[in-house]
Chain A
Amino acid sequence: MNDIDQLIISEEFEGTDVSLLETLDHVLNRGLVIAGEITISVADIDLIFVGLNVLVSSVETAHEVLRKHETE
């Protein structure tokens, strides 16, 4: 079972890699930190922004919502 299939309430997220993004958001942005400064080399540049991309995607969706709202 993946981390997100328990409950997704919003058609915007269906068929997306939300599960992937959610996992990376938790693993990279949250959790206990012992080493104040760690060095991680990034093989896949996209990954470093993945935690933010969850929100970036959301902002894009929000702008879409906003556009619809303004045209109504």
Chain B
Amino acid sequence: MKFYIYCFAEGLDRLNKSPRGISGARVQLLKMEDLAVLVSVRRADGLALTHKDAFAHNAVVRSVFKQTTPLLPFRFGQVVTGQQLRNYVSAHRQAIKARLAHVRGCAEMNVRMIGVRENAPPPVVKPAKPVGPGTRFLLEKRKEFRGDEWRAAQTAELSEWFSEKLGNLTRDQQIFVVPSERVVVAKADHLVERSHIAEYRTKIARAIEERPETRFMVSGPWPPYSFANIELEFGSQFGVS
């Protein structure tokens, strides 16, 4: 028998009310040591990605999120046997507990931003004559290197800006800047204590007003999807496919 997994949770003894899971399956709570794991029995082979099932996955995670924190949501599509799940929990218990402690009492807020790149460097001049593969490679490398430098600088600048505007409201932060020569497209994920969400909204709205040239979108609160990864993969150790 295989299980489709939705999330790990701590301090959860029973489900108050859970929506149906993927493919309309009943959601069950498994206890493994002191962890709760929300699963559905998966009898069919393979898994189809549909809007309905993707939303069902999120709905189950959110139903637990309303009931308790901490929890660690799984990405869509994780199907394992009971033995594989037990092995995983047993082998990674400390990492899971540490991650749960990290997100305890918190929700995730996301900020996406789009703006004109003011400090764009002049484009790399294309050689007038055809060049050999060695020169082409070096030109590409130069372009890539400049892009990396800019992204690192932009990430640092945004990190500093958010820290200045949000103070100690965020427990953790991830910033990702999309490579682009002409525009700034970036997203920031913030881990915020639930009791501070209202204050976060107020402060982020105020900060956004200071950058009228940039378009922002803020969403949340979300279960901490972006802060769940314990950077350990089951497949490499147990050969799951």
Interface residues of A (CB under 8 A from B): 3-4, 6-10, 12-13, 18, 20, 22-24, 26-44, 47-48, 54-55, 58-59, 61-63, 65-66, 69
Contact = CB atoms under 8 A, between A and B. Distances in A.
Interface stretch (B153-161, B162-170, B211-219): B211-219
Given A30-B226, A33-B229, A47 B54 contact: yes
The 4 closest A-B pairs by CB, nearest first: A36-B235, A31-B75, A30-B225, A62-B183
B112 A58 contact: yes
Contacts of A13: 217
Contacts of B208: 9
Contact of A59 (B46, B76, B110, B183): B183
Given A26-B225, A58-B185, A34 B78 contact: yes
A37 B241 contact: yes
Contacts, number: 177
A35 B226 contact: no
A25 to B, nearest CB: 9
A66 B182 contact: yes
B38 interface: no
Contact of B234 (A6, A34, A43): A34
B25 interface: no
Interface string B63-93: 0000000001111111110001100100000
A39 B218 contact: no
Of the candidates A7, A13, A40, the one having the most CB atoms from chain B within 10 angstroms of its own CB is A7
A29 B73 CA distance: 12
A35 B241 contact: yes
